[in-house]
Structure 1
Amino acid sequence: MKLLIQNLREYLRADFHPRLYLATAAWLGLLITLNYTFDLEDVYIDSLRGSWKRPVLYILLYTTVYYVAMGLWTYYHHRPDLWRNRRFWLHTGVGWVAYGFYAGFYGYNRWSEQLLDGQIYLFAYYCLSNLHSLVTLVLPLYLYYRFFDNGAEHFYGLKPKRDGLTVYALLLLIMVPLIAFASFQPHFLDFYPTYKDTTANEFLGVPEWVTALVYELCYGWDFVPTELLFRGFMVIGLSRITAVDKNQSGVILPMVVAYASIHFGKPLGETLSSVLGGYLLGVLALSTQSIWGGLLIHLSIAWLMDGAAFVQQWAQQPAGLTP
């Protein structure tokens, strides 16, 4: 925990400006209010599944959210030079176009129909909805890394490191009782577990825990590209372009605002907690130059939330029924 406190102090000493943080909080508060008042993502953007408009709208959403937050940072830190930096535009442009395309992509529905139609279609749909990021997000980032980002020593924090793992473990322990409490809330159980019974196990002739496990592994994979983009590409990678020194890079606050926006379809409490979590994980990724700790804590929390919901479902079954 001393490492986390030390890293936070160093980063805040260089980055903190009261008006900047207030302005950023106001911008984030406006976005959250608009989304949860009008349900913009679920009602408007996600209603366009299968249309080219959906990824375009996601790209517009993420670029607007991010560049306004970055504009606030550059204004209060007197860094107009970033807007004249072509590498800044190329790097952030590639990141948000790739992520917007990934968020709006719906081709996995057709893949599921063509490759695994019939009783297994729905199960394939749920799995491929998490695995398609291999093609839609990880591949574009790797091509950029391979052919354009000559200054990158490794693939945006994916080089294994032990730095900060104790801190990540402590953060995870703090989350356990919070997840346990959340699992008793109706809104939590409306969303979790993300696994849904598709009867695919009956078609395949296996116990349902097998299909649930396969799904959870696919679900877990989807956090890899998320960490890669937000903490790897937009923090570790971008800091090499924007930094005056390690803590004067302007990469954390704009990333946090954009990171909160990808939770808009989830319960409000999860969106709010993503702000603090995104900030802490961003600072740790910047200091350790690794996303492994953040990836481990992200996966653990995701599986703990699904696991807690499974337990609640089992506990609420009528007496006499087997789980």
Structure 2
Amino acid sequence: MRTLIRYLREHLKADFRVDLYALAALFLAVCISVNYYLDFEDSYIDAYRGDNIRIVFYFLLYAFAYYSGVGLWTRFHGRLDVWHRRDFWIYSLTGLGIYSWYAGYYGFNEWSHVVFNDQIYAFAFYCLRNLQSLMTVILPLMLFYWFVEKEPNGFYGMRPKWKGLQIYFLLLLCMVPLITYASFQPSFLESYPTYRDTNANEFFDVPEWVTALIYELAYGWDFVPTELMFRGFLVIGMARILGRGAVLPMVITYAFIHFGKPPGETISSIFGGYILGVIALQTRSIWGGIIIHLGVAWLMELAAFIQLGL
């Protein structure tokens, strides 16, 4: 815990300005309020599910968030030169483009109909929805890393670094009482577990725990590309251009990708994203975020299974 506090203290000492952070908070407050008041993402962007224009809309949304964050940071830190750097535009547009493709892509729906002649559509849909990031995020980032990236950074922090991982398991342990408490709330059980009985186990003639495990592995995987993009590419990758300024725009954009989720989750993503961003910047590794994300997700699933007696 001391290490985490030291990381945050060092980052805040170098990056924090009351006017900058206050304006960033105001910007987020206004955007979050407008989104939930108008039900913007769900009613307007998701209305085009299955249409490629949805990818464009996501790109415009995320670009607005990211470049607003960069604009605030460069203005208050006197780094307007960033806007004239060719590599800034190459990196930022690549990252935003890749994640927008991932967010708006719906081709896995067609794949789900094809798999096993549409007999297990629901199960295939839920699994492929979580696995499609292999094509839409991992592969494009690997190609960019191999052919464009000039700074060796262990594939944006994906290279395992086991030193110092204890802190993340400690943070995860602290989450257990909170998740346990949440699991007793009716609203929690309305959303979790995300696994749904689709009778796929009957189709494969296996116990249901087998299909549940397959789903949970796919569900957990989907957090890996999120960490790779936000704490990896947008923090570790962009740090060569923005330095510590890579964190704030990432946090703002990270909040925007939660617009389709409950307001509380969107707000908490700001604080979680900031802490994980600082840790990634300091350690040049995203494994802390992966551990936290996967751990919390699977603990919530487990708590819901226990509550439902499954």
TM-score normalised by the chain length of structure 2: 0.97
Q: Does 1:287 align with 2:274?
A: no
CA distance in 1, matches of 2:51, 2:124: 21
Cα displacement (A) at 1:44: 1.7
Q: Match for residue 85 of structure 2?
A: 85
CA distance in 1, matches of 2:93, 2:277: 20
Q: Does 1:199 align with 2:194?
A: no
Q: Match for residue 184 of structure 1?
A: 184
Q: Match for residue 165 of structure 2?
A: 165
Cα displacement (A) at 1:182: 1.9
Q: Do the aligned partners of 1:152 and 1:237 also contact (CA within 8 Å) in 2? A: no
Segment of structure 1 superposing worse, 136-145 or 31-40: 31-40
Q: Match for residue 245 of structure 2?
A: 250
Spell out the pairing of 1:97-246 with structure 2 (5 A cutoff): 97-243=97-243
Query: In 2 relative to 1, CA 163–260 (structure 1 residues): closer, same or farther, beyond 3 Å?
Result: farther
Identical aligned pairs, as a percentage?
A: 58
Cα displacement (A) at 1:312: 2.3
Q: Match for residue 292 of structure 2?
A: 297
CA distance in 1, matches of 2:38, 2:123: 31
Q: Do the aligned partners of 2:153 and 2:284 also contact (CA within 8 Å) in 1? A: no
CA distance in 2, matches of 1:290, 1:306: 26
Structure 1 unmatched runs, 5+: 244-248, 315-322
Q: Do the aligned partners of 2:112 and 2:118 also contact (CA within 8 Å) in 1? A: no
Q: Do the aligned partners of 2:55 and 2:104 also contact (CA within 8 Å) in 1? A: yes
CA distance in 2, matches of 1:36, 1:186: 22
Report the AA paired with residue 33 of structure 1.
S
Cα displacement (A) at 1:47: 2.0
Query: In 2 relative to 1, CA 224–268 (structure 1 residues): closer, same or farther, beyond 3 Å?
Result: same
More helix by share: 2
Report the AA paired with residue 283 of structure 2.
T
Report the AA paired with residue 304 of structure 2.
A
Segment of structure 1 superposing worse, 209-218 or 190-199: 190-199
Q: Do the aligned partners of 1:102 and 1:133 also contact (CA within 8 Å) in 2? A: yes
Q: Match for residue 20 of structure 2?
A: 20
- RMSD, matched Cα: 1.3
CA distance in 2, matches of 1:185, 1:268: 17
Report the AA paired with residue 45 of structure 1.
I
Q: Do the aligned partners of 2:102 and 2:137 also contact (CA within 8 Å) in 1? A: yes
CA distance in 2, matches of 1:214, 1:9: 41
Cα displacement (A) at 1:119: 2.5
CA distance in 2, matches of 1:179, 1:269: 14
Q: Do the aligned partners of 1:188 and 1:267 also contact (CA within 8 Å) in 2? A: no
CA distance in 2, matches of 1:116, 1:26: 50
The DSSP-based 3-state class of the residue aligned with 1:151 is coil
Q: Do the aligned partners of 2:193 and 2:301 also contact (CA within 8 Å) in 1? A: yes
* Deviation by residue 1:288-317 (Cα, 9 ceiling, x = unmatched): 111112111110101111111222222xxx
CA distance in 1, matches of 2:130, 2:153: 28
Query: In 2 relative to 1, CA 35–186 (structure 1 residues): closer, same or farther, beyond 3 Å?
Result: farther
* Deviation by residue 1:140-194 (Cα, 9 ceiling, x = unmatched): 1111111111223420001111233122122112211121222223332222211
Cα displacement (A) at 1:52: 1.1
Q: Match for residue 320 of structure 1?
A: none
TM-score normalised by the chain length of structure 1: 0.93
Of 292, 302, 307, the residue aligned with 1:307 is 302
Report the AA paired with residue 305 of structure 2.
F
CA distance in 2, matches of 1:182, 1:263: 19
Cα displacement (A) at 1:199: 1.0
CA distance in 1, matches of 2:263, 2:126: 23
Report the AA paired with residue 160 of structure 1.
P
Corresponding residue pairs, total:
310
Q: Match for residue 318 of structure 1?
A: none
Report the AA paired with residue 50 of structure 1.
G
Q: Do the aligned partners of 1:55 and 1:103 also contact (CA within 8 Å) in 2? A: yes
CA distance in 1, matches of 2:39, 2:185: 21
